[in-house]
Structures are given as structure tokens and as C-alpha cells.
């Protein structure tokens, strides 16, 4: 979140509604071994200065415990990286893959960082 300590970083807001997720699905996608990121600029005259973030894990990942663990890992990685690489006025959806649970923490951060950098160039 933005605050007195981080004046240059945009505020992040959680995506909660299905239509927000499906909106991002129709945008651009970057795939890595441990994560898939979908991103799309919000439409309208005033898209807002915040960065939208959403997290999802399908049943292919495993049971509820594994899916929740995968989403927790993605949320923490996003907290560290999205403020730096996310673009204000854009929504990002982070999708867990089977490898999200298995890869080391530094590999997950590297995968997410490289995907966000690729998305920022577009």
C-alpha cells in the first residue's frame, strides 16, 4: 500500500468479483514454470491510479489446503514485487500452477519478477 514510507508505489487493491477476473483473462498472459499472470488495462476515461491484484488456484493444484498454500505464496510474492513492476490502471491475476507449491521461494520470486517485467514492457 502507498504511504509516507513509499510515496512512489501505487496502491494495490484486491480483485474480488468474477467479472474482474474474466476481464483480465481477455488481456495479455505471461507463463512461467511456477506462475501464470494475466494482465489488462482497465477501460474507461478514469481507470484509477491503483493496481488490481487477484489470485486463483484450480483443483488441479490439489485439495483446499494445497490451493490455499499456493495462493498464500503468490500473495506474498506479489506483495514484494507488484508495487515495483505493476502498472497503475492495470489488473493482474496470478494463477497458481502445480510447480507453485514445489519450487523454492527464490525461483518463485524470479519467475514472477520476469513475468511482471515482460508485462510492463507491453
Mean pLDDT throughout 61-65? 96
In which element (H, E) is residue 55 found? strand 51-56
Which residues, listed in sequence order, are joined to residue 41 by a DSSP beta bridge?
90
- Residue 60 is predicted with a pLDDT of 95
What percent of the chain is predicted at pLDDT more than 90?
A: 76
| pTM for this model (two decimals) | 0.88
Asked if residue 49 has pLDDT above 90, the reply is: no
Q: Which residue has the higher pLDDT, 9 or 18?
A: 18
53 is a domain residue: yes
Domain with 101 in it? 12-121
| CATH code assigned at 58 | 3.30.230.10
Work out how many domains the chain is built from and give that number: 1
Mean pLDDT throughout 48-63? 92
- What are the pLDDT digits (tens) for 70-94? 999 999 999 999 989 999 999 999 9
21 is a domain residue: yes
- Residue 8 is predicted with a pLDDT of 64
- Residue 108 is predicted with a pLDDT of 97
43 is a domain residue: yes
- Residue 48 is predicted with a pLDDT of 74
- With b meaning 16 or more CB within 10 Å and e meaning fewer, what string describes 21-58? bebbeebebbebebbbbbbbebeeeeeeebbbbbbbbe
Amino acid at each position: 500500500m502507498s504511504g509516507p514510507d513509499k510515496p512512489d508505489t501505487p496502491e494495490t487493491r484486491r480483485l474480488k468479483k468474477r467479472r474482474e477476473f474474466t476481464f483480465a483473462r481477455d488481456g495479455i498472459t505471461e507463463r512461467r514454470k511456477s506462475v501464470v499472470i494475466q494482465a489488462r488495462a482497465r477501460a474507461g476515461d478514469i481507470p484509477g491510479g491503483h493496481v488490481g491484484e487477484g489470485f486463483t488456484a484450480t483443483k488441479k493444484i490439489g485439495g483446499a489446503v494445497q490451493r490455499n498454500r499456493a495462493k498464500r505464496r503468490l500473495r506474498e510474492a506479489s506483495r514484494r514485487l507488484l508495487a515495483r513492476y505493476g502498472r497503475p490502471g492495470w489488473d493482474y491475476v496470478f494463477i497458481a500452477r502445480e510447480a507453485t507449491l514445489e519450487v523454492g521461494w527464490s525461483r518463485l520470486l524470479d519467475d514472477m519478477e520476469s513475468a511482471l517485467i515482460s508485462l510492463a514492457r507491453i
